[in-house]
Structure 1
Amino acid sequence: MQNRTLSMIGIAAKAGKIVSGEFSTEKAIKEFKAYLVIVAGDASENTKKKFRNSTEFYEVKYVELSNKDELGQCIGKEFRASIAVTDENLANAILKTID
């Protein structure tokens, strides 16, 4: 299940429909461009709380998944604590692999 989810995230990254890193993820949420926010399971509690609160406020789907290394690897970068999917269809496809 998790490999399939990470593969879908990789596809979204190749399509240019992902922003990563705390600042970019937060900016996408506030500009109503994010449809799904994924935070690494090993991110700090402050980071998780910050994104849980902002996604709840802006009504964006929120998921905790995997770890920083795997999240970064699947999008072709170094470790990432947070990523936002900026395409609604890809966000829904990723959510289906999680459920």
Structure 2
Amino acid sequence: MGNKQWTSLLGLANRARKVVSGEELAIKEIRSGRAKLVLLAEDASVNTEKKISDKCASYGVPLRKVPDRYMLGQAIGKDARVVVAITEEGFAKKLITMLDGSLWG
């Protein structure tokens, strides 16, 4: 039930140009302090997961897991995406609330 809500909010954030997808771009946003939230697919490789979670931890960026790369990509109208960074505080806060309250995991 909660799935649809966060994916449509992510889609909205994407249309507002507040979403960056892909590992390298996400890391760039984390480093620059622009990333307010990072979403990582549960099916990301161990390597990617470690890299992203370490970066988020050292820069104090919230990190949330989502079910898989296809759902993440679909939410922003693209192919499979493993990592997505949200660069706007309002969207980030709302997504955290939705994901923390969702029952998929």
TM-score, normalisation: structure 1? 0.96
**For residues 68 and 23 of structure 2, what CA distance do their matches in structure 1 show?**
15
Runs of 4+ in structure 1 deviating by more than 4 angstroms, as ranges, are none
**For residues 67 and 35 of structure 2, what CA distance do their matches in structure 1 show?**
20
Deviations 1:30-65 (A, max 9, x none): 010000000101110111111110000000000110
**For residues 82 and 64 of structure 1, what CA distance do their matches in structure 2 show?**
10
Counterpart position of 1:62: 63
Counterpart position of 1:50: 51
TM-score, normalisation: structure 2? 0.91
**For residues 16 and 22 of structure 1, what CA distance do their matches in structure 2 show?**
17
**For residues 49 and 4 of structure 2, what CA distance do their matches in structure 1 show?**
22
Q: Which runs of 5+ in 1 are unaligned?
A: none
Amino acid at match of 1:59: G
Counterpart position of 1:23: 24
Counterpart position of 1:96: 97
Amino acid at match of 2:17: G
What is the root-mean-square deviation of aligned Cα atoms in Å? 0.7
The count of aligned residue pairs is 99
